[in-house]
Amino acid sequence: MDFQLLALLCISCIFKMLCIGFHIYRMIAKRKKFMNLLLLCYSEDFKSNKYRKITLAGFFLWPIPLAIRQSIALELFPVLYGVAGFLDILCIFIIVMQYCTFLEIAKNRFTALRYSLYTKLCKFDKLTDAHNDVINFTRLAHSMYSQTILIEICYLGYDFMVALYDSIQTIRIHHHTRWGVCTFIYSMACLLTIYTLCRACELAQNKVNH
């Protein structure tokens, strides 16, 4: 492993710890606000939420390229490092999916309000109050996750570039095809997570604007 790549990986580990540590701090410092956010949700909001399925898929798909890559080095220290790295990135993935879940709840409620407006199931003043409630719900979720998500987006973008560089260097210089391909798949997973988050924000914003 060249020195440049080792330095990039060390920065990536620090970045990763910062993301998780900051989120834990936010959850402790803003626990009352987080509990209020959960109280505004119903069990049906989570059962029918598509990000629940994406989270479950991530639990099964994230380990595959990392486990295949780790099979190259089965010594104790590399295995422990690989397991710790998997748990770290899984924590970050879960945090992103939590925020996407709340955005999806808000989006579904805006859709229900629009349907009620078209079918005239409720009076206009009640729909206005309900619309303001959903906006307040979205603002509450945003206030809880915005700073954490900003750090995580920066981390995922950085980790994407580091993993892509690692995969290219591994294949080109060291000729470890399995490691390079699995690392490339990991980099694409980071990019896909960023896209999923941005798409959830875009869909929620479109519902607010319309």
Q: What is the mean pLDDT of residues 66-93?
A: 72
Instruction: Determine the Cα–Cα distance for residues 46 and 117; give it in Å rounded to an integer.
Output: 24
Kindly report the average pLDDT of the chain as a whole number. Answer: 82
Residue 104 confidence (pLDDT) = 92
- pLDDT-above-70 percentage for the chain: 85
Least confident of 26-40, 82-96, 108-122, 171-185: 108-122
Cα distances from 168 to residues 65, 85, 156, 195, in angstroms, run 16, 20, 18, 23
Least confident of 28-32, 112-116, 148-152: 112-116
Least confident of 3-12, 101-110, 148-157: 3-12
Q: What is the mean pLDDT of residues 27-51?
A: 86
The one-letter amino acid at 71:
S
Q: For residue 128, give every residue at least 6 positions away whose Cβ sits within 8 Å of its Cβ, in sequence order, or none.
A: none
Residue 194 confidence (pLDDT) = 94
Inter-residue contact 177 to 198 (CB < 8 Å): no
Q: For residue 114, give every residue at least 6 positions away whose Cβ sits within 8 Å of its Cβ, in sequence order, or none.
A: 207, 210
Q: What is the mean pLDDT of residues 10-38?
A: 85
Residue 74 confidence (pLDDT) = 61
204 pLDDT more than 80: yes
Least confident of 128-142, 143-157, 183-197: 128-142
46 pLDDT more than 90: no
Instruction: Determine the Cα–Cα distance for residues 184 and 152; give it in Å rounded to an integer.
Output: 20
Joined tokens for residue 13: 């580990």
Residue 67 confidence (pLDDT) = 78
Instruction: Determine the Cα–Cα distance for residues 172 and 144; give it in Å rounded to an integer.
Output: 43
Joined tokens for residue 112: 């229900």
- Alpha-carbon torsion (170, 176, 179, 185), positive or negative: positive
Residue 165 confidence (pLDDT) = 86
Least confident of 64-73, 90-99, 141-150, 188-197: 64-73
Encode pLDDT of 101-131 as tens digits.
Answer: 999 999 988 888 777 666 665 565 576 777 7
